[in-house]
A and B are shown apart, each in its own frame.
Chain A
């Protein structure tokens, strides 16, 4: 069965608005979650590491004030795209680690900014 639940699967928003994406671990606690972004026909690019109870660690070039990450509980991490613009339109995916550094991914969220 699914290990990670990601919601919503698809969202359309107007330019300038904020969008929140949720990532939940199912039936286990995840102290660490990862957030990726994937543009069409490109690889997954790690955006940030979400750490429960502490600040997220962002990859170089990712604006922390634009992509707000909150990991307030052991089963939930949220990514908020603030003041979204068309160039933020992408496929956002979260993952958790189980076992031997194997990552289990959510189904992804397709964001379209008009």
Chain B
């Protein structure tokens, strides 16, 4: 069956360091992958989309890589700030139906 895995353990880092979050998937061949941020008690907010033919995508302090051979995406936040503390979700499109399947998310905590 199709599966998306994100590290369930919280990632705790010092302000200024680079945070790296991992998303692995099995039994999928997605055309693209998305990353969202979710704060407690709030709906997710879109961050980045990367297509299968793109190796890397950047937006300000954010960088996403997509390795379709490893079936893995890495999400990096450089020069992390306490305000970056949140849960980060990866999501894959399900077929061509516009439906997204989400990973369970990784909580990031950036210490001042």
Contacts and interface: CB of A to CB of B under 8 A. Distances in A.
Interface of A: 4, 6, 32, 34, 41-44, 46, 49, 91, 93, 95, 97, 100-108, 110
Contacts of B41: 91, 108, 110
Q: Is the interface of A mostly helix, strand, loop or mixed?
A: strand
Nearest to B104: A43
A102 B32 CA distance: 11
Interface residues of B, number: 21
Contacts of B61: none
Contact of B45 (A43, A105, A110): A105
A103 B105 contact: no
Q: Is the interface of B mostly helix, strand, loop or mixed?
A: strand
Nearest to A101: B98
A3 to B, nearest CB: 10
B43 interface: yes
A93 B43 CA distance: 7
Given A93-B43, A107-B42, A100 B104 contact: no
Contact of B89 (A32, A44, A100, A107): A44
Contacts of A49: 97, 99
A111 B93 CA distance: 27
Interface string B79-112: 0000000000100010001111111110000000
A26 to B, nearest CB: 14
Nearest to B94: A46
B102 A43 contact: yes
A102 B34 contact: yes
B8 to A, nearest CB: 8
* The 7 A-B residue pairs with the shortest CB-CB distance in the complex, in nearest-first order: A105-B43, A43-B104, A44-B102, A43-B102, A93-B43, A108-B43, A102-B46
